[in-house]
Amino acid sequence: MTEPRPDKNQILAATGTLCVLRPAQSVAGLQRSAMPRDGALDLFLLVDDTGAVTAFNGHVDLGTGIRTALTQIVAEELDVALERVTMVLGHTGLAPNQGATIASDSIQVSAQPLRRAAAQARHRLVELAAETLGLDADTLEVEDGIVRPRDGGNAGLTYADLLKGRAERLLLSDDIPVKPASAHRIVGQRVPRVDIPAKATGSFTYVHDVRVPAMLHGRVVRPPYAGIDAGEFVGKSLIWVDEASVAHIPGMVAVVTMGDFVGVVAEREEQAAEAARRLKVEWKPTPTLPDLDNVENALRAIPAENRRTLHERGDPDAARAAAAETLDRTYVWPYQMHASIGPSCAVANVGEDGATIWAGTQNPYPLRMDIALLLGLPEEAVEIVRFEAAGCYGRNCADDVAADAALLSRAVGRPVRVQLTREQEHAWEPKGAAQLMQVKGGLNADGTPAAYDFNTRYPSNAAVTLALLLTGRVPADNPVFEMGDRTAIPPYAYDHMRVTVDDVAPIVRAAWLRGVSALPNSFAHESYIDELAAAAGVDPVDYRLRHLHDDRAAELVKATAARAGWQKRTAPRLEVVEGDVVRGQGFAYALYVHSKFPGYGAAWSAWVAEVEVNKRTGDVAVKRVVVGQDSGLMINPAGIEHQIHGNVIQSTSRALKEQVTFDEKAVTSREWGAYPILTFPEVPVINVVLMPRPDDPPLGSGESASVPSAAAIANAIFDATGVRLREPPFTPDRVRAALSGEAAPKPVKEKRRRPWFAMAGAALAGALGMATLALPIRGAFPPIAPPDPASFSAEMIARGKILAALGDCAVCHTAEGGIANAGGRALHTPFGTIYSTNLTPDVETGIGSWSYAAFERAMREGIGRDGRHLYPAFPYTAFTRISDADMQALYAFLMSQAPVKATPPANRMTFPFNIRPLMAGWNLLFLTPGQLQAEAGQSPQWNRGRYLVEGLGHCGACHTPRNLLGAEKGGAAYLAGGVADGWEAPALTALSKAPIPWSEDELYTYLRTGFSRFHGTAAGPMAPVVQELAHLPDADIRAMAIYLASFAGPASADASAVAATLEAKAEASLRPMDSVGGRLFEGACSACHAPEGPTLFGARPSLALNTNVHAAQPDNLIRVILEGIPAPAAPALGDMPAFRDSLDDAQVADLVRYMRAKFAPDAPAWDGLAQTVARLRATPTQ
Amino acid sequence: MSEPVQFQVNGTAHAFALPRSTPLIYVLRNDLGLNGPKFGCGLGECGACTVLMDGVAARSCVTTLGTAEGRAITTLEGLGTLAAPHPVQAAFIAEQAAQCGYCLNGMIMTTVAFLARTPSPTEDEVRAALRYNLCRCGTHVEILRAVMRAAHGEASE
């Protein structure tokens, strides 16, 4: 199923058609698009001589099902079957301009001309039939497009017949009556959605699925001021882009820069993604934000320059002064996000004289205007083709990405598809604004409200399409919209009332989000009246009804309360469920009034929320919500019910869990761990009460049921606990703090310091005996012609190949993405960076001219063919121990590889290690040349294992600590833990911090599969080691395990029992929702790492047993979080993604702190985590 | 370039001469034109990209070609068609378990894998099984009904 896009000109030129048209209108709104041309006509409806009906609407389906509801409206008025009707939604130049799809207006407002068009078309078709049949039109009826006499008879004409050869062109008239509700057969029915079968089978085309010929893939690179779009610096912060940093990526087409707009284009999507990640971009520092951990203070600090008084009655000041009890209250709403499940995507094809944009926009015509402005084209040269996207619930990045695609397409002269990343969508989507509501009022002696002086403060934001700001096309001085006034007037008849709104300047990029400003305003109204009722000692529903002078509202309130089994109370009931768990029931009601003040109402909604609060943990569970709604005439009650379910779940999520986080510069909620939303186990039971109002006009139902949510939940928490919460989200820490009468703890931010790098190597210069300089450089072996591979036996080469795998030659001697053994991989040591050499038999750049004698000397003594010393990053101190036969086989294999011409980069060693002859002295001190001799008294397997481990396997090279001069320590330090290429190589001896000591079986399993259930997964440099070991027979792996196990501490008698104890202890320790780190873990890690998580492909490492979590240093855990496991040791383990671009240093530190405390509760906490994260981030190993 | 990576998708063998680190989702979507798997987070957090790999749910945004090598992959398209939907697809359609539908692929694929292991789940088990599949529209109620319908026949209201 794809978006239908017929050709309007062809339609209008064709005979056999009936069209209903209306003069094109200029649409006022937040963004006013161009005036239509004089005489331009919008097409609303087409009936053709096949009997098909095509209907056009300017509002689009945002996943709410309005396509289906509109189909019902058209089919109803035309008297055709639903299947005959196709809806065309939102394409510019084809669908009428009806403004942005906002304010739940699609059915209530934008469907009205369409409904009349369908009625008019039917009227005309009946008229034509009457003429043809020679009967009075009043005597005819229509059934599924067949017009026939009402009194029966055989005469019947189909719409298709009637239109043969005709070209009916009707101007939309206001005079044709639409059907009364009593005549409805399709409207009012629970009709299945037209789009769901295609969506459930993968045959629906979302904008993400649009592909056009010759299309390239783009990604954008956003500035560091993520989510901030006002200020002088916007569009002016780029210093430079290093295009060379991505030149090596295959498929690169272009790097595009305009102001602060930066994008990349490549042939393939993963190439573009890689380029965007790798592109080096330098930005100027950007200003510091107000402290948004304290939303209230940040909002109070904005100057209020535009106070509007929306309503004034009586004398609220005097009435408050005279009140028996003064009751002033402040309510605060956090920044929240739309959090679309799919990050926005668009395709653009921009040519010299026009542009086509395939977009998931909510606002096709306003977007067209923006694209025209951005590209300097007239509006009519831009076509927006609208496709469905992920649900947006307001304005997400759908328009932004369309503009991004337009810029990239113009730059490369081909169609470009741009997919935003999750991080970009989270960080840059225009947020639902924070809001501050203050009520000054009180209670009279008789319990009636004395006064209601309400002020709401809304940091508005126009959320100008981002590319316009980033390119400097539009200055970043966003206008302040009058947007804080939605539902600002309370529904209750307070005698003395003042309602004022401060529309203030933005702090962060924001736009409308479901229930824009109305949800926060209603949170205040409905919390406050609950507070009044409690102070007056009156049941909160009764109290509302006394002051709610709207019969329709009162009926809804009563019906909802009755359905919920409302328990009357005059004070909080504090009902105990069991132990610390208490239960409460809360009420709230709202008529969602939206659009430019004074606006108008959508559907009425009322909530009864039932919650359980654990007074010890602070957990709030919304168990059941009874929600009543009066939507007037319901086009599709099933659709309305689904919208109510969706609103209840989403707004419960907002009330309980959601708040955007910031650091001092930008948004830091960039994935689902940092912005948790409600999950399946938390979803309440929902009972819907639909008020039957078929004779009243249909009302918007897309947002109303969100509006009472937070107040109903807060009121229920009050009923359960007697404690009033006035700032969502109602997280456990806030609830605990409120219950203990303290302010909720603000998250502690670790102070950031500049990373500090130890310069160990340079300090050691003096330690090295200068006398060694006097030692002669060793002689060179003469170059030889490369030996003919045929001179080696196939068996010998094959054995050499296995030995090369054991020796991990290719692990170090292969550059990332390079040819095996051709060298060039950077090895970072404390003494500088060494690049591995080319081990292929190329004469000039490899070892092609090396004789066996030269090769053997290199392997056993660390001296190159030319007599130069090699650095002991090359583990010749281990290789010296291998047998002659193995050495010869290895030589045979290396010499029989295909030669590759490749010169590695020059080493970058620090003084004095850059003086190679010093290595001679080093060798004198630390090299014990000679083959390994079997140890009598040990088993042949043990001796074989020792030969493999100490020789070619060179395990000690990483797992043995080195002394100040970089030599492996001996004795008890052997295998006691070292460092490998920026990763910690854990101790394999009794010094291991692993909670369960290594056993022979676990070592075998780990070396064979890359995974041990008691230790974890091979990551970092160990993953390729295990990959290489796959070439070895089981017997050799077993021998290695036997030998290594002889170093491990005493084995656990019952490792499984110990594991179970450790896991139970971890499970019982911290709760994820109690800390930032825990929430990050829950959202980012648990799907793959929670013990009770879903069955997913790959290993599920138990973190309570993980060596890295129990290690002395956090480095490996941090590394694996930052870098992931991009090439796992074995495919069956599954892949682990890198979180480097998703979590900042403070978040990784929080996450690691939580993991340590939860999964290794007996181990000491790690210090200086944020600094360690910064240091490791600055020295990536992948 | 290394050896082509071979695997099966919806019963057909394919080989791709691409880096083994290539995320599977891009190959399924862009090379095979399979739109079922949706890009949601790229981190394995939300589940929108779920496919079956040898019958087990796998998040294709964090699965590399190398990991997929030699395996049998099933996407939403491979379960059933509009004309002949898979029983789980049919249950989701019957319960109208989608709003925007972007998460739907993950919900259906995860459900298919889950019901293969747990054919007769309780509602709590279903909630736990889908806990790490995120839906923003709030279609959870209909999705739960759909899974129960797929498992137990027509859902009881």
Residues A726-744: tens digit of each pLDDT: 999 999 999 999 999 876 6
Per the CB < 8 A criterion, the answer to whether A461 and A229 are in contact is yes
Tell me the C-alpha distance between A82 and A636, whole Å.
13
**Residue A419 sits at the chain B interface (C-beta within 8 Å):** yes
A1054, with CB counted inside 10 A (0-12, 13-18, 19+), is exposed
Q: Which of A683, A690, A663 is nearest to A674 (CA)?
A: A663
Q: Which of B56, B79, B102 is the last residue of a domain?
A: B79
What mean pLDDT is predicted for residues A23-50?
Answer: 83
- Taking only the tens place, the pLDDT of each residue in A889-907 is 999 999 999 999 999 888 8
Measured CA to CA, the distance from residue B49 to residue B72 in angstroms comes to 16
Mean pLDDT in chain A?
92
Which band of pLDDT confidence, cut at 50, 70 and 90, is reported for residue A52? Answer: very high
Q: Which of residues 61-100 of B touch A (CB under 8 A)?
A: 61-64, 66-70, 75-77, 79-82, 85, 89, 92-93, 96-100
Cis-peptide, bond into residue A912, ω within 30° of zero: yes
> Which tokens go with A1124?
């992931």
End residue of a domain, out of B61, B79, B97: B79
Q: What is the pLDDT of residue B157?
A: 43
Q: Would you call B100 and A389 a contact, using CB atoms and an 8 Å cutoff?
A: yes
The verdict on B106 and B42 lying in the same domain is: no
Which CATH number belongs to the domain containing residue B140 in this structure?
1.10.150.120
Residues B119, B140, single domain; the answer is: yes
CB within 8 Å of chain B, chain A residues 799-818? 817
Strand partners, A609: A586, A625
Interchain contact A418–B (C-beta under 8 A): no
**CATH code of the domain covering residue B20:** 3.10.20.30
Band (pLDDT 50/70/90 cuts) for residue B112 is: very high
A1126 has a pLDDT exceeding 50: yes
Residue in A62, A192, A421 closest to B42 by CB: A421
Banded pLDDT at A982 (limits 50, 70, 90)? confident
Q: What pLDDT, on a 0 to 100 scale, did the predictor assign at position B2?
A: 63
Q: Confirm if A1126 and A657 have CB atoms less than 8 A apart.
A: no
CATH architecture of A295-315+324-336+433-739: 2-Layer Sandwich (3.30)
The predicted model gives B58-74 an average pLDDT of 97
pLDDT digits (tens, 9 = 90+) for A86-118: 999 999 989 999 888 887 788 888 899 999 999
Boundaries of every domain in chain A: 8-201, 207-287+344-419, 295-315+324-336+433-739, 785-926, 940-1178
Cβ atoms of A627 and A648 within 8 Å: the answer is yes
Which positions ≥6 away from A1033 have C-beta within 8 Å? none
**Is A342 in Cβ contact with B38 (below 8 Å)?**
yes
CA dihedral A1166, A1168, A1173, A1174 (to 10 degrees): -170
Q: Is A192 an interface residue toward B (CB < 8 Å)?
A: yes
Query: Are both B17 and B74 inside the same structural domain?
Result: yes
Within 8 A of B130 by CB-CB distance, chain A residues are 680, 1094
Q: Which of residues 88-147 of A touch B (CB under 8 A)?
A: none
A1151-1165 pLDDT, tens digit per residue, is: 999 999 999 999 999
What's the half-sphere exposure (Cβ side, CA atoms, 13 Å) at A912?
A: 17
Task: Kindly tell me if the per-residue pLDDT of A753 is higher than 60.
Answer: no
Query: What are the tens digits of pLDDT across the range A927-963?
Result: 888 888 889 999 999 999 999 999 889 999 899 998 8
Residue to mutate among B16, B99, B122, B124, with most A CBs inside 10 A, is: B99
Using DSSP, state whether A482 is helix, strand or coil.
Answer: coil
Chain B residue closest in CA terms to A1091 = B128
The ipTM assigned to this model is 0.98
The pLDDT-based confidence of A81 (bands split at 50, 70, 90) is very high
Longest dimension (CA), chain A: 122
CA distance A677 to B132: 11
Per-residue pLDDT at A31 exceeds 80: no
Residue A925 has what pLDDT? 77
Average pLDDT of span A52-76? 95
Structure tokens belonging to residue A258: 């305009």
Contact A24, A41 (CB under 8 A): yes
Where residue A871 falls among pLDDT bands split at 50, 70, 90?
confident
In a domain, B133, yes or no: yes
Q: Is A1047's pLDDT higher than 80? A: yes
Q: Evaluate whether residue B157 is within a structural domain.
A: no
Q: What tens digit of pLDDT does each residue of A303-342 get?
A: 988 899 999 999 999 999 999 999 999 999 999 999 999 9
Asked if pLDDT for residue B54 goes beyond 80, the answer is yes
- Which pLDDT band, with edges at 50, 70 and 90, does A49 fall under? very high
- CATH class of the domain whose range is A207-287+344-419: alpha beta
Question: For residue B75, what are the domain limits?
Answer: 5-79
Q: Specify which residues A438 forms β-bridges with.
A: A330, A455
Calculate what percentage of chain A has a pLDDT beyond 70.
96
- Contact criterion met (CB < 8 Å) for B22 and A1135: no
The stretches of A22-110 forming alpha helices (DSSP H) are 66-78
Better-predicted residue by pLDDT, A111 or A418:
A418
How far is it, in rounded angstroms, from Cα B73 to Cα A119? Answer: 50
* Residues written for chain A: 1182
List the structure tokens of A1050: 């005493």
A494, burial (CB in 10 Å: exposed 0-12, middle 13-18, buried 19+): buried
Mean predicted confidence (pLDDT) in A146-153: 89
Give yes or no for residue A773 having a pLDDT over 90.
no
- Count the domains in chain B: 2
Q: What is the pLDDT of residue A38?
A: 82
Chain A residue numbers touching B104 (CB-CB < 8 A):
199-200
**Can you point out the beta strands (E) in A804-952?**
826-829, 832-835, 908-909
Architecture of domain A940-1178 in CATH? Orthogonal Bundle (1.10)
Nearest CA in chain A to B142: A642
**In chain A, what percentage of residues exceed pLDDT 90?**
81
Contact B45 A1087 (CB under 8 A): yes
Domain termination site, one of B36, B59, B79: B79
Q: Which residues of A560-573 are buried (b: 16+ CB within 10 A; e: fewer)?
A: bbebbebeebeebb
What are the pLDDT digits (tens) for A243-285? 999 999 999 999 999 999 999 999 999 999 999 999 999 999 9
With a cut of 70, say whether residue A758 has pLDDT above it.
no
- For A437-476, the pLDDT digits (tens) are 999 999 999 999 999 999 999 998 889 999 999 999 999 9
- Cβ within 8 Å of B, A 878-907: none
> Who has greater pLDDT, A815 or A129?
A129
Three state DSSP letters for A203-232: CCCCHHHCCCCCCEEEEEECCCCCCCCCCC
Higher pLDDT, residue B13 or A744: B13
Whole-number pLDDT of residue A760: 34
A794-806 and A1022-1029 helices cross at what angle (nearest 10)? 150
Q: Do A206 and B102 touch (CB under 8 A)?
A: yes
Q: Do B144 and B98 share a structural domain?
A: yes
Q: A203-212, A359-368, A537-546, A813-822: which range is least confident on average?
A: A813-822
Q: pTM of the prediction?
A: 0.94
One domain, residues B72 and B91: no
- Under DSSP, the state recorded for A843 is T
pLDDT at residue A755 above 50? no
Chain position carrying tokens 């929080």: A1150
Residue with tokens 């010929």: A213
Architecture of domain A8-201: 2-Layer Sandwich (3.30)
Scanning A16-150, the segments in alpha helix (DSSP H) are 66-78, 111-133
